[in-house]
Structures are given as C-alpha cells and as structure tokens.
Chains A and B, each alone.
Chain A
Amino acid sequence: MEHEITLIVNGAARRVRVPARRLLSDCLRHDLGLTGTHVGCEHGVCGCCTVLLEGRPVRSCLTFAVTVDGAEITTVEGLAPADGRLSPVQRAFAECHGLQCGFCTPGFLCTVTALLAENPAPTEEEVLEGISGNLCRCTGYQNIVKAVHRAAELLAEEE
C-alpha cells in the first residue's frame, strides 16, 4: 500500500506517493531526484545521508518518509543561497581542503551547518564530538576540523 505525503524540501512543497518502507534517503534520491544526499552504510553509522529535519541533523537512512509527512527538510542542495554562491560552511570546506573524494561531504556539510547554528564558536573538543558521527575515509579529518573552525569565522564575519 502506498501513502501520499508532502515534504517541504529546501523550501518547496513536494507531493509524493511512497510505500511505507521507503527510507527518507531513498525518497529524496529516487522519488525527488535529489541525489546530493549520499547513502553509505544504511544503518546509521557512516553519516553520509545526514539531512536537516526541522533544522536538526538526522540520519535520513534511519527515518521513514511517511513518518515525516509535512515536515521541513533541508538537504545539501538547499544549503547554498539562491544566488549561486556557496554557503560559509561549503566555502570553508573548499578553502581548507576538507574533502577529497567528496562522498561523505553532504553529510558533513549538513551536520556542521546545524552544529554552528547551535554553537557559533565551538571548542576543538566540541567540534570533534560534533562530527564524531560522520565517517571520512580520505582526509584523516584534520582538514575537516580546520574547515569547521574556518566556517565559524566566516559565519561570524557575515554577521
């Protein structure tokens, strides 16, 4: 049996019919064509599929689309402003070489965007804990940690 649901994705209402077992990650990628959200482990360990649900980072592979009917979701496609510039977090990742293959990057960008919204000037320890649920197999994390601190600076400058 299929369910008709509405998701507010990156500001736009999207109506879609899904079976109950459709994961939010697959709904975003397959039903809505938003392939920026990556799918790695599909059991909540790697963090690639992290999106913002009502502003808070969650694992889209551990959420059923039907459960969040009516909710606001922000994916990596929705982080940059409409004028085509990158968001401060995205710029910081580019500037600090916080990615190599880029597979984990959408999850990191969503996690870090929410982390800095809640805590605009995190300590080293808070950054490490904040990104502890996201795996990266390329960078060794050091440049990602630098990027988080740099993003905090860029956000502070913008205000």
Chain B
Amino acid sequence: MKPPPFDYHAPRDLGEALRTLAEVRGKVLAGGQSLIPMLNMRLAAPDHLVDINRVAGLDGLERSGDGVLVGATVRHADAERAEVHPLLTRALKLVAHPVIRNRGTVVGSLVHADPAAELPAVLAVLDGRVRLARWDGGVRVREVRARDFFTGPMESAVEPGELAVSAFFPALPPGGGSAFHEVARRHGDYALAGVCAVVTVDGGLVATARAACVGVGPVPVVVDVGEACAGRPPEDADWAGAAALVRDAAEPEDDIHASAAYRRHLVGVLAERALRDAAREGAARGA
C-alpha cells in the first residue's frame, strides 16, 4: 500500500509545466484524491509525476454572465463554497466526503472521467468544455466540448503531453432550473445511479429539457427530452414520459452493489424527480 517510486517535477509556471509534460509524458498530480489511491494500490506506476500545485495562475475561479471558468487547481471545497453555479454547487456536495473535497479538484474529476462521478455529468448536461494546453515551441491551447471529452470509462480526450488547464461550465439561461438526484448506500459513496437535469421555462411553457445520468454507462449518458415535454406548462408536462426516455437510454451493468435492472429503475425515478425539480426552479427563476 505504498506508491511505487517516480521522478517528481514541481514546475512553477505553465510553460515549465507544459515543457516538462512534453519531455517526460508523466502523470499530472493536482489534488491526487483519485491518483494517489491508484498509486498506493499499484494500479498505476508512472515513471514521472508532474505536480501542478505550485503552477501560478491555475487556481482562478471566474464567474461571468456566460458561465464559470474553473482553473485546474481549484479544490472541490472552494468551488462549492463560492456558490458560482447552482448545478455545480449541488453536484459538488455529492462528491465523495467533505475531507476529500478539501484536496480534490474540479478539473481533476473531469480528467479522471469516472463514469460514476458527478462532475462529468454536470459538464455534459450543460454542454461545457475543457481547455487543454501543450507545449509546441510555445503554449498551444485547444478546447474540447464535453460530448467529445469523455471517450470511455476513465478515459478522456487529454492526449499525452497535454494539461487540462481549466473547465468552463455555461451559466443557466433566464428561466433555467437545475437539479441533481442520486442514490448511494452511504453518504459520500459513489452513487448506484444519479441523474442531473436542466430545464428552461419560457413564457410559462417548458422550452428545453436535458438530463445526464451517472453510473449507468461508460460515459455520462446525456438525453435531450425536450420533445416529450416542450410547449407545455411545467406542472402539466409529461415528466413520466420524459423520464422513461432517460431510463431507456441508460446502459446499466450488474455489480456487487446493485443489479442492472435496479439501476435502470432508479434512473427512471430519479430522472422524473430531477426534471420536475428543475422545471419548478426554472419557472420560479423565469417569473
């Protein structure tokens, strides 16, 4: 239960961090709350670790009218306390335990791309994006949208030599409401299943509705259920029908914690709750 040996790099600025990553192709260490358990259990044994905790300029948490830009070393706990985005705040309260959130980072959770984790689903349902940087004679940056970012279980679009420098979570529009519901056996455990939803209400009628599921597919399962409920007042829309679409899109698997059938059932129940709550909040915010 001790990590294997590695060469340690502690760059002080972004250029140095990217040059180091280009040269040694090491693993990035930010909060370490997923990486260090994997090292301790010898599930990973990288030759080089590039610790970005001292890199200047990666700890920014910027809120604008368009949304929230979260830097690579922003801790879960700091993003949660700042209350910069209602859905992000809700989701962060569900991430592991408070003590883990004091070290773990938002961007780290995205790059780790655990299909049972909350934050990838939030980025996906909001259609957010991740900014990746690499060294190529200078800092080269590209942005990847959530739909292209999560490529498989624990796999993201980050390529060797690249560093995820920030993530952007788009703001909810006027009349936009959100909700996140999940079922976990114990507080802080990975959920058996979870659903987050964003619903916009315009002129008293549902305009758009999207949901994303966690724990029931290789990547966050995003379902646009607008067709099932748009054009109706929030209290009168067919949320059960919309939830059935979400349930049918899920690809749950059996494991020791729950059967696939039970997980699918949970997705249906949680989706209806999340969609109704998001619609109620959207109606209140739009009024």
Contacts and interface: CB of A to CB of B under 8 A. Distances in A.
Contact of B187 (A26, A47, A111, A129): A129
A151 B118 CA distance: 33
Interface stretch (B32-40, B134-142, B268-276): B32-40
A156 to B, nearest CB: 22
A64 B36 contact: yes
Interface string B92-136: 000011111011000000000000000000000000000000000
Given A44-B37, A63-B32, A132-B187, A56 B102 contact: yes
Contact of A62 (B6, B37, B77, B98): B37
Contacts of A139: none
A43 B1 contact: yes
B263 to A, nearest CB: 22
B4 interface: yes
Given A43-B41, A132-B188, A21 B103 contact: no
A149 interface: no
Count class of interface residues, chain B: 20 to 34
The interface centre, meaning the residue of B40, B77, B98, B188 with most chain A CB atoms within 10 A of its CB, is B98
A86 interface: no
A61 interface: yes
B96 A67 contact: no
6 contacts: A21-B4, A58-B102, A61-B36, A64-B29, A67-B29, A129-B98
CB-based closest 5 A-B pairs: A133-B97, A20-B8, A42-B1, A43-B37, A132-B187
Interface of B: 1-8, 10, 29, 32-33, 36-37, 39-41, 49, 51, 53, 77, 96-100, 102-103, 186-188
Interface of A: 1, 3, 19-21, 23, 26, 41-44, 47, 50, 53, 56-59, 61-64, 66-67, 111, 115, 128-130, 132-133
Given A20-B49, A56-B77, 9 more contacts: A43-B37, A44-B100, A47-B99, A57-B98, A58-B103, A64-B29, A64-B51, A67-B10, A129-B187
